[in-house]
Amino acid sequence: MKKLKQQLIKAFGRKSVTRSFNELTLTIDSDRVIEVCTQLRDEFNFDILIDLCGIDYLTFGESEWLEDASSSGFGRGRELQKSSKGQGNRFAVVYHLLSVSDNKRLRLKALLPDNSL
């Protein structure tokens, strides 16, 4: 994974590549999706789209999933984060890619420019 991270940094820049929870994420602007996906396929062998999802960060980290949880011990398993309201991009599309030949996975996060969609 370290080698792949360095290759991605070389191709896309240090600010674009992050590693968290033993997973690599490449963050790009949405207008570069086709260009970057083509490069990831042709140069990095990411040939399978595993998952595709949209994210709205409007209230991300503002509250727990359940406020009136039972006494049985429900827990979200993480601390709350500061709200992302007004900070950066509200919407993103996330692509989870797989390189079958190299047995590697990559999360590609495309940030949308319009927060009022």
User: What are the DSSP calls for 13-29, one per residue?
Assistant: -GGGEEEETTEEEEEEE
pLDDT for 86 equals 52
Domains of the chain by start residue, with CATH: 23-60+84-117 (3.30.460.80)
With 0.85 as the threshold, say if the pTM is over it.
no
Does residue 112 have a pLDDT over 70?
yes
Among 109, 110, 103, which residue's Cα sits nearest to residue 46? 103
pLDDT in tens, 18-77: 998 889 999 999 999 999 999 999 999 999 999 999 999 887 766 655 555 555 555 555
Which residues are paired to 98 by β-bridges? 48, 105
